[in-house]
Chain A
Amino acid sequence: MGPGIITGFAGNDAGGVATYTAVGAHYGFQMLWLLLLSTAGLLVVQEMCARMGAVTGKGLSDLIRERFGVRWTIVAMLALLIANGSNIVAEYAGIAASLELFHVERIVSVPIAAVLIWVLVVFFSYRIVERALFVLVLAYIAYPITAFIVGPPWGDVVHDTLIPTLPIEQAALIAALALVGTTITPYMQFYIQASVVDKGIDKEQYRFERVDVLLGAILTGLNGFFIVVVAGAVLHPAGVHVDSAADAARALLPLAGQQAQLLFGVGLFGASLLAATIMPLSTSYAICEAFGWESGISKNFREAPVFMGLFTLLVVVGALIVLSPSVPLIPVILVSQNVNGLLLPIVLVFILMLAGDRRIMGEHTNGRFSQMVGIGTAVGASVLSIALVAITILGSAP
C-alpha cells in the first residue's frame, strides 16, 4: 500500500464516520455536492503535498520553517496542534462511544485505551497496531453494501451531488464545515508528505505515486459518499437525530439487523484507536522537526524531552477531556471537525505558497490548474468558516 491509500484510510477516523452519518441523517443527500467538491479539493491538495515531498525530500513543517521563519512556523504549528489535539479528543470520544455500545463505561475504556496506546508506541511498535486495525476498519465495507440493499432514490442522489444547495442557518453551516474539515484535514497533508519522504520517493518515481494519491483521495471520498447515502436513506426519513453511537449504528440495520451495533462498533473502534495512536505521534514529530528539537520514539524523556512530553501530553489530555461523563460524545466529535475546518485555510495557504514557489519546486511548481483549485478550496473553506462565525455571533446577539 502506498502513502496515498494509507493516508486515505487514516482519514476515515472517528471524525469522519460521525460527521458523515450526522450530515446524512440531518440533511439527507443535500450536502453531497459539498462532499464532491471537498474530495476534488482533497485530491489536488494531497497531490501537491506528495509532490513537495518527492521534489524536496522534506516534510511540510520543515519547508514551512525554512521558507517562512520562526514566527510563521509558530502560527502553523499552533494551528496543527489545535487541529490535531481536537482530533485526538474526537478519537477518544470514538473509542468511548463504540465501547459504550458493548456496555463498557468510558471511565473504564478511555484510561485503558490511553495507557495501551502509550505503552504500545513507547515500548513496542505502532506498526503492529496499524496492521491489526486496518482489518477492523474494513468493517466500512458495510456501507456500500447497505446502500445497495436499501436502494436509495439514486436519481435524487445524483441530483444532489451535482446541484449545490445549502440552507443558511447555523446548524447547517456547522454540518457543512465539519464535512469539509473531516474530508480535508490539515493532518492528512502533513502525513502524506512525511510518508512520501520516508519512502524515499523521488522525482522520477513520482509518476507512479500520483496514482496512489488519486486512489487514496477517491477512497476517502467514496467512503464518505456511501456513509452519507446510507444515513440519508435510512436515518433521515425516520427523523433520527444522531446523538449517540447507537443512533449512528441504526444506519446499518437494513444490512446487519440485530448485529448492526456490533458491526458499527467494531469499525468505529478500529478507526478511532488507529487514529488515536498515530495522531499524537505525528503531531509531536511535526512540531519537533519544525523547531529542531530532538525527536524519535526510541529516545527517552531525557534525550528528547519535548518530543516525549508532547506525545504524552496529547495522549493524556485527549483522554481526560472525554473522561467526564457529562461530555456528549458525538457532538464533541462534530465540534472537533469544525475546528479542523476552521484551521484548514491557514494550513492551505502555507501549502499553496510553498507548492507555488519556483525556488523550492523548480520545474515541478504548481501549474495554474492546481493553484486555482487549491485557492478555490481555501476560499471555500474560509467562506464557510466566516459565515459560521458571523451567524453564530449575530445569532447570539440580543
Chain B
Amino acid sequence: MNCTGYASGVVPYLSEIQHRRVIEPNGNEVGKLADIAVVPHGQFPAAQWAIISTPSGEKVLRWGDLAQEIGHLRLRNRLETTPDAQLPPDALRLARDLLDKQIVDTHGAKVVRVNDLQLSEVDGQLRLVGADVGLRGLLRRVGAEGVAERVARLAGRRLPRGIIPWHLVETLEPANDTPAKTAAVRLTIPHTKLALLHPADIADIVEEMTADERIAVFQQLDLETAAEALQEVEPEMQAAIVSDLPEERAADILEEMDPDEAADLLQDLPEERREELVELMEKEEAKDVEELLTHSEDSAGGIMTTDFVALPRELTAAQAIDELRARKPDPQLTYYLYVVDGDGKLEGVLSLRDLVVASPETKVSEIMDPNVLKVDAETPKEEVAALIAKYDLLAMPVVDARKMLLGTVTVDDVVEIMLPRGWKKRSLRSIAR
C-alpha cells in the first residue's frame, strides 16, 4: 500500500474512514465503506476485510483489493471481477463489534467505552492500534472535534487525548455455550492480562461487567487469583457469581479462599446450594468452613479464620522455625504465633521476632507471653474490633469454653467495622443508568 492518502503525522480514525465512498478504477461509485474486519490476534491486528454497503446489500472484500486515496477508497479492479471474501468466525467487525462497546483499560484498571478506534499504517499495512476512550473521540463522532479544539485553544488549553494502546485491550471468548451471545462479542482484556492486575482492581472491574462476562472471567482466571478477586467483590455480587458458576468450579474457588471469607459467602446462599458446594469441596477445607458456618455472622466466630499458626509448647525455637519454614504460612498469619498444649488449649503468644532472637534450644513455652488477650466465639464483632483497636493488635485469638484455640480474627477482618460509614464502598448501581 504505497499510496496511503494520509499526510504524514495525521492519524486516521475509524470514524473518519467509515462511510467513505468506494469507487471503481474508472471513478464509478459502487457503495460506501461500512466496516473493517480484523482477526484479533497479535498486538496490533491488521485490517483484512472491508465490508462495503452497496445498493444490493453488504459485500465483503479483502482489504488488499482496495487502495486508500484522498477522500475515498478505490477498488483495484471492477466490483464484478473482485472476488467476494468470507469472514472467519473469529473475525471482529470494528464498527459493529467494538465501537461504542465497553472495554477494560488495564492501565487505569477501569471500565471505559470505545468512542473511536485509532488506525495506523504499520509496515505498509493498516492496523488497529488503539481505542479512543476520551472526549476527543466523542467530539469526532459528532463532527465537532475541530470546533472544540479551536475553542479550547482560545482558552489556552488543549483537548486531552484518551487513547488506550490496543495491546492493552483484547477480546474475550463469548461466555461458554450461549449461542445467542456469539452475535454480541463480549469485550474485555484476556484473562492473562486481567490476572496481572491486583485482585482488588479485578473485583472493581468485574463489578462493572454484565453477569455473563463476570462468569467468563471467573471461569478463566487461575484459581488463586479468582479466589482473591472474589473475596474483594461486594457480598451480594459474590453470592450471585457463585450461584452462576458451574458447581465444580465454584467449589474449587471456595477452597482457595480464606475459610472465613468462604463461610461468609456461603452464608448468603440458599441452603440447598450451600450444602451442594460444601459437599464438593475438599474434606479439609470443607471442615473448616462448616465449622465457621455454625457461628453467627456478627460474632467473632463468624468473622474469624481457622487458618493460624499453633506451636506445641514443647517445641524448641529452632524446631518452631523449621516448622514455619515447612508450612510457609500467609503473611497475616505470622503476626502472632500461638502456643498450645497437647489438647490444643491456648497457652500463650509470641512474635516472629521473639522466636528468631531466642537461642535455638529454648522451648517456646519459655519465650511466650502467657498473658494473651482472647475472645470467645460468641463475642460480637464490634467488640472484637474495639479490642483490636484499643490494644493496637494485628490479630486476636478466638477460643471456645474450654480455652481451645478455634481461630483468629485478623485486623483486615474488622477494618471495615472500624471505618466510618461513608468510607465503605456502596453499591449504588441500582439507581443507575
- Residues of A whose CB lies within 8 Å of any CB of B are 3, 56-62, 65-66, 69-71, 73-74, 123-127, 190-191, 193-195, 197-200, 202, 278, 281-282, 285-286, 289-292, 294-298, 359-360, 362-363
Residues of A within 8 A of B210 (CB): 56-58, 197
Is residue B426 contacting chain A, with contact meaning CB distance below 8 A?
yes
Tell me which residues across on chain B come within 8 A of A290, comparing CB atoms: 113, 433
The 6 A-B pairs with the shortest beta carbon distances in the complex, nearest first, are: A292-B113, A59-B433, A57-B210, A285-B432, A362-B180, A70-B141
A70 adjacent to B433 (CB under 8 Å): no
**Pairs across A and B, CB under 8 Å, 8 listed:** A71-B141, A126-B428, A194-B432, A282-B432, A285-B431, A289-B433, A292-B102, A296-B428
Residues of chain A contacted by B192 (CB below 8 angstroms): none
How many residue pairs link A and B with beta carbons under 8 A? The number is: 100
Which residue of the partner chain, among A193, A202, A282, A363, contacts B180 with CB atoms under 8 Å? A363
Q: When the two chains form their complex, are residues A200 and B102 in contact, meaning their CB atoms are under 8 A apart?
A: no
Task: Write out the residue numbers on chain A whose beta carbons fall within 8 Å of the beta carbon of B110.
Answer: 294
B240 near A65 (CB under 8 angstroms)?
Answer: no
Once the chains bind, are B100 and A126 in contact (CB under 8 Å)?
no
B174 vs chain A, min Cβ distance (A): 13
The answer on a CB contact under 8 Å between B211 and A198 is no
B138 at the interface (CB under 8 A from A): yes
Instruction: Please name the residue on chain B nearest to A56 by beta carbon.
Output: B210
CB distance from B98 to the nearest CB of A (A): 10
Contact with A along B392-433 (1 / 0, CB 8 A): 000000000000000000000000000001100111111111
| B184 contacts chain A at the CB level, 8 A cutoff | yes
Q: Is the CB of A297 within 8 A of B428?
A: yes
For window 61-120 of chain B, which residues contact chain A by CB distance below 8 Å? 99-102, 110-115
Assess the B422–A124 pair: CB atoms within 8 A: yes
Is residue B133 contacting chain A, with contact meaning CB distance below 8 A?
Answer: yes
State whether A60 and B433 are in contact (beta carbons under 8 Å apart), knowing that A65-B100, A69-B99, A297-B426 are contacts in the complex: yes
List of B residues within 8 angstroms of A65 by Cβ: 100, 113
Q: Which residues of A contact B421 (CB under 8 A)?
A: 124-125
Inter-chain contact B428/A286, CB cutoff 8 Å: no
- Tell me, rounded to whole Å, the shortest Cβ–Cβ distance linking B155 to chain A: 17
By beta carbon, the residue of chain B nearest A287 is B433
Interface centre among A70, A202, A282, A295 (most CB of B within 10 A): A70
With A and B bound together, what is the CA distance between A70 and B430 in angstroms? Answer: 24
Contact A66 B100 (CB under 8 A): yes
Contact A62 B428, beta carbon cutoff 8 Å: no
Contacts of A56 in B (CB 8 A): 210
Answer yes or no: B10 CB below 8 A from chain A CBs: no
Other than the known A66-B100, A66-B101, what 5 A-B pairs have Cβ atoms closer than 8 Å?
A59-B432, A59-B433, A70-B100, A199-B430, A292-B112
Bound-state CA distance A193–B142 (Å) is: 27
**Chain A residue with the shortest CB-CB distance to B162:** A292
Judged by a CB distance under 8 angstroms, whether B280 is at the interface is no
Complex alpha-carbon distance, A178 and B427, angstroms: 33
The answer to whether A126 touches B433, judged by C-beta atoms less than 8 angstroms apart, is no
Closest partner residue, chain B, to A63 (CB atom): B433
Residue numbers in A under 8 Å from B99 (CB-CB): 69
Closest to A130 in B: B431
User: What are the residues of chain A within 8 A of B111 when measuring CB–CB?
Assistant: 292
Query: Once the chains bind, are A291 and B113 in contact (CB under 8 Å)?
Result: yes
Say how far B182's CB is from chain A's closest CB, in angstroms: 11
CB atoms of A200 and B426 under 8 A apart: no
Question: Which chain B residues lie closer than 8 Å to A198 at the CB level?
Answer: 427, 429-430, 432
What is the distance, in angstroms, from A25's C-beta to the closest C-beta of chain B? 33
Tell me how far the C-beta of A107 lies from the nearest C-beta in chain B, rounded to whole angstroms. 29
Tell whether B212 is near chain A: CB-to-CB under 8 Å: yes
Query: Which residue from A202, A294, A295 sits with its C-beta under 8 Å from B211?
Result: A202
A291 touches B100 (CB 8 A): no
Per the bound structure, the CA–CA distance linking A286 and B430 in Å amounts to 11
B432, A291: Cβ atoms closer than 8 Å? no
Residue of B nearest to A59 (CB): B433
Contact of A200 among B101, B142, B211 (CB under 8 A): B211
Assess whether B431 is in contact with A191, with CB atoms less than 8 Å apart.
yes
Report chain A residues within 8 Å CB of B223: none
| A296 (CB) vs chain B CBs: closest residue | B428
Q: Does B387 contact A (CB under 8 A)?
A: no
A-side contacts of B357, CB under 8 Å: none
Chain B positions 180-239 with a Cβ under 8 Å from a chain A Cβ: 180, 183-184, 210-213, 236-237
Asked whether, in the complex, the Cβ of B212 is within 8 Å of the Cβ of A360, the reply is no
Structural contact, A71 and B431, CB atoms closer than 8 A: no
Cα(A334)–Cα(B131), bound, Å: 45
